[in-house]
């Protein structure tokens, strides 16, 4: 893993130099969060109202999942652009281990996810107070773990996209249905049986369950199965991606 930190640092600087990418990754989830929070603040003053419940439990998880997806879409796009431009091939002709080149991108995405989460929590502290600092830390850990898990799908998608132009639409095509069926918007129990099965084989479902639970204040031990499922899916997709990954 020689060169990993240097490459990660380099990629962080390069990413930060692209104003649009930086804005899309960091600002949009925060802006959505703040705007929704403001719109509902009046109604949410009544403690048991649906708006209050949504602000307290739904919104943070929704924003977290959006961050995760935005990390994956961004990863797929970057890998596709790097491949199309021959950057991956050029890096592979150096003594860098192939895994180092890809791991650097995962670290960059996780770092920016953590940064966005910190901004989000700072911006949203007026709307809710998480139960404790412990909850906050567990939530951050759960989000980074889930994001790492779904990033492995990103590598698989990046192996399949023919050109950078298709990267974003294809990633969206895969992730938005996954999000719709994840239990984020309506309970999985309300889905028809075949969609319930589909929901169970998507890692996003487990990520949502984990994040919702942790935000409510559950200890991590309540969600061993969610964590195991995310790890298994992550390993599976990473293995598939390493089998099919195209460097050029």
Partner 1 sequence: MNEPVIHVSGIRKAYGPVVAVDDVSFEVRRGEIFGLVGPNGAGKTTTMECLEGLRSPDRGHVSVLGLDPYRAGTALKVKIGVQLQEAQLQKRLKVGEAVRFWASIYPSTVDPEALLDQLGLREKRNAWFMTLSGGQKQRLFIALALINDPEVVFLDELTTGLDPQARRAIWELVRGIRERGKTVVLTTHLMEEAERLCDRVAIIEHGRLIDMDTPRGLVARHCPERMVVVATADASARERFLVLPGVDSVDADGASMTIRGRNPGLVTDVIQCVSRHGITVTDFHTTLPTLEDVFLRLTGHSIRD
State the residues that interact with partner 1 by CB under 8 A: 2-3, 6-7, 10-11, 13-14, 17-18, 82, 85-87, 89-90, 92-97
Instruction: Give which of 120, 128, 147, 98 is closest to 246, Cα–Cα.
Output: 98
Q: How far is CA 189 from CA 20, 50, 117, 199, 208, in A?
A: 39, 20, 29, 10, 14
Cβ nearer to partner 1, comparing 50 with 86: 86
Cβ nearer to partner 1, comparing 78 with 143: 78
Q: In the complex, what is the shortest distance from the CB of residue 101 to partner 1, in angstroms, rounded to a whole number?
A: 11
- Kindly give, in sequence order, each residue whose CB lies less than 8 Å from that of residue 73, ignoring residues fewer than 6 positions away: 154, 167, 168, 171, 172, 175
Cβ nearer to partner 1, comparing 94 with 132: 94
Q: In the complex, what is the shortest distance from the CB of residue 93 to partner 1, in angstroms, rounded to a whole number?
A: 4
The two tokens of residue 48 are: 């048991």
Q: In the complex, what is the shortest distance from the CB of residue 84 to partner 1, in angstroms, rounded to a whole number?
A: 9
Q: In the complex, what is the shortest distance from the CB of residue 152 to partner 1, in angstroms, rounded to a whole number?
A: 23
Cβ nearer to partner 1, comparing 104 with 153: 104
Q: How far apart are CA 216 and CA 65, in angstroms?
A: 16
């Amino acid at each position: 893993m020689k060169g990993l930190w240097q490459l990660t640092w380099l990629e962080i600087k390069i990413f930060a130099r692209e104003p649009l990418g930086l804005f899309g990754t960091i600002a949009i989830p925060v802006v959505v969060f703040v705007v929704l929070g403001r719109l509902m603040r009046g109604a949410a003053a009544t403690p048991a109202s649906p708006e209050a419940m949504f602000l307290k439990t739904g919104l943070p998880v929704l924003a977290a999942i959006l961050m995760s997806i935005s990390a994956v879409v961004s990863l797929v796009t970057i890998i596709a652009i790097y491949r199309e431009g021959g950057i991956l091939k050029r890096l592979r002709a150096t003594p860098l281990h192939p895994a180092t080149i890809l791991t650097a991108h995962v670290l960059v995405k996780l770092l920016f996810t953590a940064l966005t989460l910190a901004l989000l929590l700072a911006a949203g502290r007026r709307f809710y107070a998480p139960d404790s600092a412990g909850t906050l830390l567990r939530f951050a850990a759960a989000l980074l773990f889930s994001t790492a898990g779904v990033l492995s799908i990103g590598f698989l998608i990046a192996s399949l996209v023919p050109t950078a132009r298709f990267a974003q639409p294809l990633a969206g095509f895969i992730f938005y249905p996954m999000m719709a069926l994840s239990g984020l918007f309506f309970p999985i129990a309300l889905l028809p049986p075949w969609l319930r099965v589909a929901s169970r084989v998507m890692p996003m479902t487990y990520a949502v369950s984990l994040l919702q639970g942790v935000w409510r204040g559950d200890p991590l031990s309540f969600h061993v199965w969610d964590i195991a499922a995310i790890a298994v899916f992550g390993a599976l997709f990473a293995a598939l991606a390493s089998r099919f990954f195209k460097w050029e």
